[in-house]
Amino acid sequence: MPPTTSTPTTPPPRHGGESYRLVVPNTAHAPRLARDFLSTLLHISGYTPLVDDARLCVTELVSNAHRHTRSRVIRVEAVVNRKQATVYVCDNNPWDLPVPGNTDPARGDVPEGGQGLRLVESLTRAWGLTVYGGCSPAYKAVWFTLARQGATP
């Protein structure tokens, strides 16, 4: 089904830094493992004020990959530098694209899903998705960037 809202689909801006990767089986435990991995990484990297937001965002994206794809594994990749951290949640189903939920409070709409992406959007400097592999897409990454207080975009 085509997206009903515009979803950012550009890759995040490139920035140097240290890269970290976690690969977990696509099970119900994946969100917790990703959350713990990212929390630890951000604490030791000096991003303690952003840990709670990062935990919420990575939990949402990994939960989406678990619920909505048949990927055997889910990869969480993080690139951290002095100013920002970008986190990628990758799965092997490039055409299962996330779509933020549409609501109209005036009509009393209560969507069944998609509100977690609105949360990601509200907590991050930027977010989006990128499909990799050209004509034969191999995987997709849904990503978000968090920045330190006072860091310029």
pLDDT in tens, 56-107: 999 999 999 999 998 999 999 999 998 999 999 999 987 666 665 544 445 4
Of the pLDDT bands very low, low, confident and very high (cuts 50, 70, 90), residue 134 is confident
Using a 10 angstrom Cβ sphere, with 0-12 exposed, 13-18 middle and 19 or more buried, the burial of residue 18 is exposed
Distance CA 117, CA 128 (A): 10
Name the β-bridge partners of 141. Answer: 90, 130
Written out in words, the top-level CATH class of the domain with range 18-147 is alpha beta
Q: Which two tokens stand for residue 101?
A: 């939920």
Name the β-bridge partners of 144. Answer: 87, 127
Residues 42 and 76 sit within 8 Å (Cβ to Cβ): no
Q: Which two tokens stand for residue 119?
A: 């949360």
> pLDDT at position 100, please?
58
Amino acid letter, 33: L
> pLDDT at position 116, please?
86
Distance CA 95, CA 41 (A): 30
Q: Which residues of 88-116 are buried (b: 16+ CB within 10 A; e: fewer)?
A: bbbbbebeebbebbeeeeeeeeeeeebeb
Residues 45 and 84 sit within 8 Å (Cβ to Cβ): no
Distance CA 13, CA 125 (A): 11
Q: Of 9-18, 36-45, 53-62, 71-80, which range is least confident?
A: 9-18
Of the pLDDT bands very low, low, confident and very high (cuts 50, 70, 90), residue 132 is confident
